Amino acid sequence: MTAALPSDLTCPRIATRANGLELSRVVAGMWRMSDWGMPVEQRVRFIEQCIDLGVTSFDHADIYGAYSIEGLFGEALRAQPSLRDRIELVSKCGIKLVTPNRPQHSIQHYDTTAAHITASVEESLRQLHTDRLDLLLIHRPDPLMDFDEIADAFSRLRQDGKVLHFGVSNFSRHQFECLDRRIALATNQVEFSPLHLAPMFDETFDGLQDRGVAPMIWSPLAGGRLFTATDANAENLRLVIKDIADRMRVPFASVVFAWIMQLPCRPIPLTGTGRIEAIAVAVAGSRITLSRPDWFRILRAARGHEVA
């Protein structure tokens, strides 16, 4: 049986880069908000409960919920305007979805032109009922992206006070560094979990650590597969994590979040839940330090073999 979470649990903060943006150590991901079925009053309360936990950073993208999530969140900010100055708003742009909400899109594709970046920001600001984004990310690397054009667009948005900091998502180390040479980037948001280890071994994390940049992490619980996958490797991994969690008397997911945050590149994991109890479990992970042997037990189980 795991111990109860402390009643005074709060999330620390972290600078994504020296002299740059600060985010909460755990970020609340909003991409599923349309599935939560919350009326606007409940959305306000959810944001307030996150803030009470110290989770003040909220991750969006223009396309989430087929272009609906920013509007849902913005309704909460309009209902309670004082929330805006207590939080950090993150959004992404650069993907055009085919959806009835965008009938002019004939094919799903990337668009990282200055015109599209600027138009996306304007729409995000309108939907979120705010005058600025704290952080804007390019959502996916675009084969047609022009690094100079993106950097110029970012610079103009900063000059206009519409976006305070910039980053990317799902970029390789080389792609990140190409844009970072033109304009300082605050983060690279990438997929990482014990079931998706690629950034640990493809130089993504090494490169970010070298530049003093903290990555953001999407799907830290592998989209729930850590709890549900039935292949032998995943089942063994689950048993290893559970053994550590039981021994430490902490929740299973707290161990996973702790394992991720213990990396020296200082990853910032995102949640994907509307359950404040689950967010508290993630925050608890920020207060846990695994022993080095336990950390490597999880890595060994995740990879299915010993280190060399």
pLDDT category at 2 given cuts 50, 70, 90 is very low
pLDDT category at 18 given cuts 50, 70, 90 is confident
Look at residue 47 and give its three-state secondary structure.
helix
Look at residue 216 and give its three-state secondary structure.
strand
DSSP 6: P
> 190-238, pLDDT tens digit by residue?
999 999 999 999 999 999 999 999 999 999 999 999 999 999 999 999 9
64 is an active site residue:
yes
> 252-300, pLDDT tens digit by residue?
999 999 999 999 999 999 999 999 999 999 999 999 999 999 999 999 9
DSSP 93: E
How high is the pLDDT of residue 1? 43
Q: For residue 87, which amino acid is it? A: I
* Rounded distance between C-alpha atoms, residue 238 and residue 155, angstroms: 45
The CATH superfamily of 24-186 is NADP-dependent oxidoreductase domain (3.20.20.100)
> 23-64, pLDDT tens digit by residue?
999 999 999 999 999 999 999 999 999 999 999 999 999 999
H helix runs in the chain, sequence order: 40-52, 64-67, 69-79, 114-128, 147-159, 173-180, 198-201, 204-211, 225-228, 232-248, 252-261, 276-285, 292-303
DSSP 289: -
Domain positions in the chain = 24-186, 214-308
Closest residue by Cα to residue 282 from 29, 65, 17, 15? 29
Total residues belonging to the chain: 308
How high is the pLDDT of residue 6? 63
Residue of 23, 30, 62, 64 marked catalytic: 64
User: Region 116-134: what's the mean pLDDT?
Assistant: 98
